[in-house]
Amino acid sequence: MIRRSFLSIMLLLCTLSALLTGCWDTKDINKRLMPVVMGICKEKNQEYQIILQIPSPQKQGSQYMESSSATITNAIDNIRTKSEKSIDLLHIRLFLVCEKTAREDLGDIIDYAVQANDISIKGLLAIVRGNFNEVIHHQINANPELSSYDFFSEQAGWTPETTITRLWEAYRDIKSYTQDMSIPILTKGTDTLYQFEGSAIVRVNKMVGEISSDEVLIYNVFQEKYTGGTIEVADQSSVKIKKATIKHSVKWTASGPELKSRILLKVEILENKNEESEEQIASKLKEIIEKRADKLLAELKNDRADALGIGQLFRRKMNEEQIKNWKQHWYLNMEHDITAEVTILNSIYLKSPNKIKKPVS
């Protein structure tokens, strides 16, 4: 009986100790600093400069902590050493990399961020053009840490003229034979926190070119990330794209890959001061979209970068050797025909100098 009671007490103590160890090292939120933005730039001496942007309610803005070292890990450890609180990197939403470093090598940065146990792979990537420190420390309102992320949030300030690339996507693309990526380029804003300068084209692990905001719109259609947006069809007319989808027809012939892409647009006319017909507006929009698409594809081939991920469409039709040679050979010689089909949804609230169309009763 005594032995049974002793065993019961020991079992109870072991259970309690297990519960205690589960939360023993939990830190109070007041003892932690939670950065939301990490800036990374390689200096002339090849050391990584790391800047952490941390929300600071007391300062009604942000607190900045920084350090430099030969490795990113050591630079962050240096920041932790001089910090009065524990630094939790799990809440980092945005990684800003200076353009100079992006043109040299993004691989080490992406590898570090993905392999670190305390960083979310859902974090977003952007490239900073201009003075790196000025852009990082730039503030407009009392909550710059929120504004930084809102520029890339589909529920806030993001527009279809801006690309969105997350860490896990970047890691996937730098390891892929058949897909590259595009990362937004930003500078310091004047009346806003940032100003976007198009997007960088990244081949394997470095920036090799860039595309304009107009071409980013086509890029997002290919990535099936397009939601809304307004296009000026002519000086006196504009349309709002309500829905944009794309369909592909893939064929591998004796001479190599052939691809036919159809961009399907459903639009509403916003302004039509010249009172052009719907057919005329649809024709002009079709021409604009097809020219942008052809220009985008030509630039990407010139950069030898498959940022549209076209190689993914052909993977099942290629053997291992063809997959490895996709960007160097097959992609550059691919026949690609891009067409656009425009559907005018309605023009009930058509604006013109003299009249507004009314619904037919």
- The answer, yes or no, to whether residue 22 has pLDDT greater than 60, is no
Average pLDDT over residues 166-182: 94
Give the model confidence (pLDDT) of 36-91 as tens digits.
899 999 988 889 999 998 887 666 677 899 999 999 999 999 999 988 788 889 88
C-alpha torsion angle, residues 106, 108, 110, 114 (rounded to 10): 180
Average pLDDT over residues 297-315: 94
Give the model confidence (pLDDT) of 99-117 as tens digits.
999 999 999 999 999 999 8
- Contact (CB, 8 A) for 177 and 311: yes
Q: What letters, b where the CB count within 10 A reaches 16 and e where it falls short, cover 87-116?
A: bebebbbbbbbbbbbbeeebebbbebbbeb
Per-residue pLDDT at 278: 87
Of the given ranges (13-22, 159-168, 229-238, 247-256), which has the lowest mean pLDDT?
Answer: 13-22
Per-residue pLDDT at 145: 46
* Run of H or E including 150: helix 144-150
Instruction: Name 323's Cβ contacts closer than 8 Å, sequence gap at least 6.
Output: 177, 178, 311, 315
Give the model confidence (pLDDT) of 324-341 as tens digits.
999 999 999 999 999 999
- The answer, yes or no, to whether residue 148 has pLDDT greater than 90, is no
- The answer, yes or no, to whether residue 182 has pLDDT greater than 60, is yes
Q: How confident is the model at residue 29 (pLDDT cuts 50, 70, 90)?
A: low
Q: ∠ CA(173), CA(204), CA(160), 5° rounding?
A: 55
Q: What is the mean pLDDT of the chain?
A: 83
Average pLDDT over residues 124-138: 90
Burial grade of 356 (CB within 10 A; 0-12, 13-18, 19 or more)? exposed
- The pTM (predicted TM-score) of the whole model is 0.81
Average pLDDT over residues 180-190: 89
